[in-house]
Amino acid sequence: MKVIALAASSSSQSINKKLATYTANLVPNADVETLDINDYEMPLFSEDREKKLGNPQLAKDFYAKLGEADAIIIAYAEHNGSYTAAWKNLFDWTSRFERGLYQNKPMLVLASSPGPGGARNVLDAAVTSAPHFAGNVVGSLSFPSFYDNFDQETNEISNEALKSDLLALVKKL
Ligand SMILES: Cc1cc2nc3c(=O)[nH]c(=O)nc-3n(C[C@H](O)[C@H](O)[C@H](O)COP(=O)(O)O)c2cc1C
């Protein structure tokens, strides 16, 4: 099973990238590919630019890459209660190329933050809107207080309850 994991974050130190990659590697016999959304950076979306540029190749490439997956795991970073600007830009461009960008792949939606809120606002937004973009969300999880619950040195979850929640989620893929 090919699993594509990504963080909806452009941070080189993204905790959500760590979480998405970690979770993808819990899938038995998975062929895991972790994407970096910086590889799909485009000008700030506007309808004026769209008229000028059409559909950028990078938006088409991102859509095609998601199409290679048997399952998709996205961990959303939360900025001011919503998507990061980097993700929103990629999402907007790609949705104009093809609105159903998640392509009905079985999908896990995760979100984490350093605080106890666990990026729940963006998680709720992503889960609620996914069906409008051909998102087949089979499970979701807010992962709170990342640095308390994920050991950076060993790359391992230190909170057993959260780990068993994630193990249960990957079984749904
Ligand atoms: C501009 C900005 C806004 C943020 N807003 C929120 C927020 O609304 N809720 C939250 O839980 N964390 C917020 N944070 C903290 C992020 O959760 C934290 O930076 C986290 O590491 C982002 O995920 P990432 O490492 O995967 O990019 C914000 C951070 C930045 C830089």
**Amino acid 2: pLDDT:** 98
Question: How far is residue 123's CA from residue 109's CA, in Å, rounded to a whole number?
Answer: 7
Q: Determine how β-strand 106-112 pairs with β-strand 2-8.
A: unpaired
How sure is the predictor about 122, in pLDDT bands with cuts at 50, 70 and 90?
A: very high
> Which of 19, 73, 113, 123 gets mutated to test ligand 1 (max ligand atoms within 8 A of its CB)?
113
**Residue nearest atom 1 of ligand 1, based on CA coordinates:** 79
Distance CA 155, CA 146 (A): 12
Cα of 30 from ligand 1 centre, angstroms? 29
The rounded Å distance from CA 129 to ligand 1 centre is 20
Ligand 1 atom nearest the C-alpha of 9 is 27
| pLDDT digit string, tens, across residues 73-90 | 999 999 999 999 999 999
Residue 114 in tokens: 């350093």
pLDDT digits (tens, 9 = 90+) for 136-157: 999 999 999 999 999 999 999 9
- For 3-25, what is each residue's pLDDT tens digit? 999 999 999 999 999 999 999 99
pLDDT in tens, 35-69: 999 999 999 999 999 999 999 999 999 999 999 99
Report residue 124's pLDDT band, with 50, 70 and 90 as the boundaries. very high
